[in-house]
Amino acid sequence: MSVFRLVMHPASEGDALTLSWGEEGKLFHALIDLGRTRDYKTLRPTLKQTGQFELFTISHIDADHIAGAMPLVKESSAPFQPRDVWFNAWHHLKNAAARLERAEELESLSAKQGEKLSVGIVRFRWPWNSAFGSNGIASIASPQGQHPIDLAGNLKVTLVSPGDEELAALEPVWMKELELANLRPLDPDDQDEQPDKESGELEVLSRVNVEALAKKPFVEDAAEPNGSSIAFLAEFGGRRVLLGADAHPGVIERRLRKLGYSETNRLKLHLFKLCHHGSKANTSPTLLKIIDCVNFAISTDGTKHDHPDGETIARILVNDPSRHKTLYFNTHQKHATVWNKDDLKEKYKYSCEIPPKDEPGLTIDIRNL
């Protein structure tokens, strides 16, 4: 039997995803992000049991995506082996900026660029951005990134973010963002993060005009680390999933339009793992207009930023009022359960998949969507 599934592991307010495809008894796997330190420690036995990944992606340097990689790269030997690691480090940002300026000489990896993850990749001797040729920039501007990339087991991957502009924009704030992510080269990182307390007050949405919520002005995310996110389409057996990381919706939309998609030729998606955990700044009304999708996945425990934002869910609901939609959440948390109201679900034709309180994480069978 053919298999194509996404697992959203518990990852605090971030992402730790595994994508699996192939035939029962011979599955292939990709790993996308590792959440925070405590999330990696929980996930490690599963990763070790899996053993081999066709692709390991760290989408960008925000702590809720990369911090879990810190205890990983401190280990004496890797608990799993990837055939390729996609991660844009300092020298990739420099190379992207140089390519924009048509410079002839590009940077190579050196000791001064030895962030902890980079050092770990080199020490483990893992292939690094090998799918993107000699310069190794995981960018839609790379020649290899402009076309689908074939992985073992007949998975086709199409990069939709970032571009060289987004990578170059991150360069000036790289060290600042490393500090915010607790990734300064000489700082200790063995202390686990303390759980964030949920903040803010959430209105009872059944009393809110959802159409009005959806019509609130859209202001796009401008954070450079989010703009540098590696996001991609993955296609297997006629099914397609978009894994959005924290990417800027404008970057994805421009990429999809270059691929020929539009309001009259929409991209058929069987699942969209929403960008930036359902942030109101990362799912634009115009992006929703050029995709054909009724299944939306959200990875977050709702702490720190109160994700998903109500505006995002409302935009999804009013964008496609006639078809039944499904919202998938990987954690039983108030920003998820507030949407699990019968009156809202009946009016806007959707259902919610939410795991039990004490069992975070969710598996989505893409083959059956």
Element (H, E) at 165: helix 164-170
Q: Is the CB of residue 36 less than 8 Å from the CB of residue 42? A: no
Which residue, among 180, 184, 259, 160, has the nearest Cα to 224 in the 3D structure?
180
Digits of tens for pLDDT over the chain (369 positions)?
899 999 999 999 999 999 999 999 999 999 999 999 999 999 999 999 999 999 999 999 888 999 899 899 989 999 999 999 999 988 898 889 888 887 555 544 433 333 678 888 989 999 999 999 877 999 999 999 999 999 999 999 999 999 999 999 998 887 776 666 655 444 444 444 444 443 333 443 445 588 888 999 999 999 998 999 999 999 999 999 999 999 999 999 999 999 999 999 999 999 999 999 999 999 999 999 999 999 999 999 999 899 999 999 999 999 999 999 999 999 999 999 999 999 999 999 999 999 999 999 999 999 999
Q: Is the CB of residue 269 less than 8 Å from the CB of residue 292? A: yes
Compute the distance between CA of residue 123 and CA of residue 174 in angstroms, rounded to an integer.
22
Q: With a threshold of 0.75, does the pTM exceed it?
A: yes
Q: Specify the 3-state DSSP secondary structure of 342.
A: helix
Q: Which domains does the chain have, with CATH numbers?
A: 2-183+203-368 (3.60.15.10)
Q: SS in 3 state form for 71-113?
A: HHHCCCCCCCEECCEECCCHHHHHHHHHHHCCCCCCCCCCHHH
